[in-house]
Amino acid sequence: MSGARQAFAFLTPLGGAATPSPAAFGWFPVVGAGLGLAVGGVWWLAGRAWPAAVVAVLVVGADLGLTGLLHLDGLVDAADGLLPHLDRERRLEVMAAPDVGAFGVGVATIVVLARWASVASLRPAPLLLAGLWCASRTTMAVAARTQPYARGREGGLASAFLGPARAAPLVAGVLASFALAGAWRALAGPIAVLAGGVAGAGVVAFARHRLGGFTGDVLGAAGIVGETVGLLVAAAKW
């Protein structure tokens, strides 16, 4: 099975069952850009029929649907595991548990509201979303290639990706992210991508400090936090 099919099946609920491998990482930026364009298309179409507040709800909902809430789930689990005062083993247990705690609910609420408010304050911008979504999936892939896996031999959602992967597609993902966002606005777009990348890297660094490495939940959290920060920066009064 091709890396492209693996990446599409893992990052969306539309690709059917597929066992991921390190080859999928090279396609993460491509799938991310495609998702951004799809969500941006919903934004553009909805903007022709509804006011901004309603459009923002539809855009945020479309993104959650097209990703199968995978990254939001990772954000909730990561918040519950990383933010409280717990020892390392207990953090991993909490992140693997199916229930949701106050930290996860609080962080998820803030993130969803921030995404809604950012979209509501901007005109439809498919290229901006393509750039930010491409950058977020690139951040996930780079983190998984450069950071230790916190669960070791215990397994986990991200364990199937462990192994050597080509770096060239990820470098291309970084360049494509800046190019797509820059096509939206020459200055604001790249700055938004950069800010999102820094935010995503910050989540990974925080997890490295707390857990000694990354997990699948950490990658999801890094991606959605990076996108949200990028949207907030793009929505600033330039």
| pLDDT tens digit sequence for 173-182 | 999 999 999 9
User: Is a pLDDT exceeding 70 seen at residue 100?
Assistant: yes
Of 5-19, 89-103, 151-165, where does the model show the most confidence? Answer: 89-103
Q: What is the pLDDT of residues 12-40, one digit of tens each?
A: 998 776 667 888 889 999 999 999 999 99
Domain residues for the domain of 37 are: 3-234
Mapping DSSP to helix (H, G, I), strand (E, B) and coil, where does residue 214 land? Answer: strand
pLDDT band for position 2 (cuts 50, 70, 90): confident
- The pLDDT of residue 16: 74
Whole-prediction pTM: 0.94
Average pLDDT rounded to a whole number, residues 46-50: 97
**Burial tier of 134 (Cβ tally within 10 Å: 0-12, 13-18, 19+):** buried
Total count of domains within the chain? 1
Written as one string, the DSSP assignment of 128-180 is: HHHHHHHHHHHHHHHHHHHS-BTTGGG--TTGGG-S---SHHHHHHHHHHHHH
Question: What percent of the chain is predicted at pLDDT more than 90?
Answer: 82
> Which residue do the tokens 């215990």 mark?
154
- The pLDDT of residue 15: 73
User: Is a pLDDT exceeding 90 seen at residue 51?
Assistant: yes
- The pLDDT of residue 91: 97
pLDDT band for position 156 (cuts 50, 70, 90): low
